[in-house]
A and B are shown apart, each in its own frame.
Chain A
Amino acid sequence: MVLPPGGFFVLGGWLLLFSLLRSRKEARAEA
């Protein structure tokens, strides 16, 4: 079975988004 394309990129995109949200939250907490 061939894996359909795009999964890694979409998962990476979501992980980046959550990472960005977390870093913004931490920066706000420190300020």
Chain B
Amino acid sequence: MSLPKQADDAITFDTFMEGVWRQNPVFVMILGMCPTLAVTVSAENALSMGLATTFVLVSSCLLVSMVRNLVPKEVRIATYIVIIATFVTLVDYLIQAVSLKLYEALGAFIQLIVVNCIILGRAEAHASKNPPLKSVVNALGMGIGFCIGLFALGATREILGAGKLFGVSLFGEHFQPWV
């Protein structure tokens, strides 16, 4: 059984901006709070986590949208998780290969992207009902919105906590770190 096709397949500016601003996953929908609060101790960690999630989100939404008419409704969630897990494994090995320090800083939260509500929510609510290109545009907006949210938190915490941004000291050597 295939999922019903949505009548409106047009890609508008709102398709992209929905996730960036109006339905921002961090500030409006309050989704993905576990990685949001845990890894945003610095701007670098926050941005890395945001980019990793964006990659998984866009790739999995593309694939979910492409197979939406082939997957039986009863096993769709299991299929989504397998698709998402595939891309999470890619990101996991990629970060491990590029920067071991970053990999250790992000910890288990890279693997936990598999169960991120933003990704499962997008796959179920949007990608499974829309054509691939529209799903990718929407997922990209949502990913950028997530990056903005994480960066806002990470940058604020790094500036307040260590007086730095991306490791660069902002207030000189007399700044007393809060943490």
A interface, CB within 8 angstroms of B? 1, 3-8, 10-11, 13-15, 18
Contact = CB atoms under 8 A, between A and B. Distances in A.
Contacts of B161: 6
Contacts of B41: 4
A28 B152 CA distance: 26
B38 interface: yes
Contact of B37 (A11, A14, A18): A11
A1 B153 contact: no
B78 interface: no
Interface of B: 26-27, 36-38, 40-41, 107-108, 152-153, 156-157, 160-161, 178-179
A13 B27 CA distance: 11
A6 B160 contact: yes
Given A1-B108, A11-B153, A6 B179 contact: yes
Contact of B156 (A8, A10, A15, A18): A10
A1 B107 contact: yes
Contacts of A14: 27, 152-153, 156
B153 A18 contact: no
Nearest to A13: B156
Given A3-B38, A7-B153, 20 more contacts: A1-B38, A3-B37, A4-B41, A5-B179, A6-B157, A6-B160, A6-B178, A6-B179, A7-B36, A7-B37, A10-B156, A10-B157, A11-B26, A11-B37, A13-B156, A14-B27, A14-B152, A14-B153, A14-B156, A15-B27
